[in-house]
Structure 1
Amino acid sequence: MKVDKSQSGRPYTGRSSAERPSSGRSFAERPSSGGRRPAGKSQFERQSERAPRSSGKNMENSQDREEYVWVLDYLPYGKTVDGKSAYQKKPLVQAIGDKKFTLMELVPKNGVVPEIQSRVYIGPGDRNEIDHVKQRIGYSDLTTGANLELPFILEAVVKHKEERFVKFFNDAHSITTRLHMLDLLPGIGKKLMWSIIDERKKGDFKSYQDIRERIPSLRDPAKVISHRIEEELKDDFIKYRLFTTPPRRPRPE
């Protein structure tokens, strides 16, 4: 039997090219697929059948959504600047969320008048007072009444969420080598900042009252936090945000 060599130079045993049967057609005569893959399902289609598709939901973002808001103002005839006739206008509520302090406008249910400074539910499922969220707004969009109520409501929210903000005093850390998160709180200088840091090393703060007793110069920690939140809401371009989300800005054309 004749031993041929392959193109790599290694011998193989088998029939020679003269002994192998021919199809009777040259390479040029063989049918071509025209440069396309044979008909059938693509690799993407086969993978799609094997793996379930993602829902596309971002769980982290969904957890950050506001579920409760505090009513800042109630407008029985909506805004006066929208150009609509009085009979066409619908009631409107301006409110602020108590998780990320998102300012927004809401449409109440028919016949419902939410009380100012009340806390209402806007999350998924049944809602008693609010029909739907109309839009996010900025600080400059607030009515005069909402502006007047904002400082009082912010302080009420911070007191209502005491555990969250006491934790901030326990966990606050350096932002840069020269700037600490506590530095960003109104009225807290370097001396007071180090007093807080040194005191929490002895044990975590348990409450606002605990902070006041252990740091006598910090008389009202809730008010300090609420003032910082108000600063962040007023300034769309503030560099560091401790408690709020940046406002939505229009996309450049």
Structure 2
Amino acid sequence: MRRREEYAYVLDVLPPELAAYKLPAKVRREFPRDSTFAHLLGEEYFTLLEVTLKPGVKVELGERVYVGAGQRDKVDKIVRRIRYEDLQPPARELLPQLVRQIVASREQKFVDWFNKAGPITLKMHSFELLHGIGKKKLQEILAERKKRPFQSFEDIRQRLGVDPIELVVNRILSEIQEKDPYYLFASPPPQETI
């Protein structure tokens, strides 16, 4: 199943000369020389995207833009999915802040995950992929959610003594940076970069 983003956040705007330098010649020929490229972070699956902006359009770093099917107001074309290593240093610096913003704004989605997460293998639970969660804390989480479902990030914080936002943000960043073969929240990286 292909995961498609509807909205994304602007990580970086690349001047045409830098974007042209990084793109393979075959792809470069498809776009006008003065195309403005941007790197975006998807809101739903944390997919890294390279897009072209519509002529004359300006975007701000951190701005939420529509990238779904149909008429887009600022994004012209989605060029390709990219990897973390394709990001420029300023985009890498902005990435944790935007991931945190997305997680905080989608609290119910992640609270539901804490209530429903299950094992990945016979010997490993999803919670163990969160930095700092070992077997003892895993048992505590499972016992607490069995008593009653978690209601909010604050409820998780109070009952477990952990910061759920920090746990999820660190996991997402780890997945985007391809540090682990398991993907709980982010889209796996593209198989091939063009």
Percentage of pairs with the same residue: 38
Q: Matched residue pairs, number?
A: 185
Match of 2:183 among 216, 219, 241: 241
Give the AA of the match of 1:232. Answer: E
SS in 2 for 1:79: helix
Structure with a larger share of its residues in helix: 2
How do 1:1-253 and structure 2 match up within 5 A? 61=2, 64-77=3-16, 79=18, 81-82=21-22, 88-215=33-160, 217-218=161-162, 220-235=163-178, 238-250=180-192
Q: Deviation per CA, 1:159-180, whole angstroms, max 9, x where unpaired?
A: 1111111111101112223211
SS in 2 for 1:231: helix
Give the AA of the match of 1:71. Answer: V
Q: What is the alpha-carbon distance in structure 2 between the residues aligned to residue 213 and residue 189 of structure 1? A: 19
Structure 1 stretches of 4+ moved >6 Å: none
2:129 and 2:171 in contact (8 A); partners too: yes
SS in 2 for 1:212: helix
- Give the superposed CA RMSD: 2.1
1:211 and 1:221 in contact (8 A); partners too: yes
Q: 1:188 to 1:156 in 2, by over 3 A?
A: same
> Which structure is higher in RCO with an 8 Å CA cutoff and minimum separation 6?
2
- Unaligned stretches of 5+ residues in structure 2: none
Q: What is the alpha-carbon distance in structure 1 between the residues aligned to residue 123 and residue 62 of structure 2? A: 39
Give the AA of the match of 1:136. Answer: R
Between Structure 1 and Structure 2, whose CA radius of gyration is higher? Answer: 1
Q: What is the alpha-carbon distance in structure 1 between the residues aligned to residue 18 and residue 34 of structure 2? A: 8
Q: 1:110 to 1:196 in 2, by over 3 A?
A: same
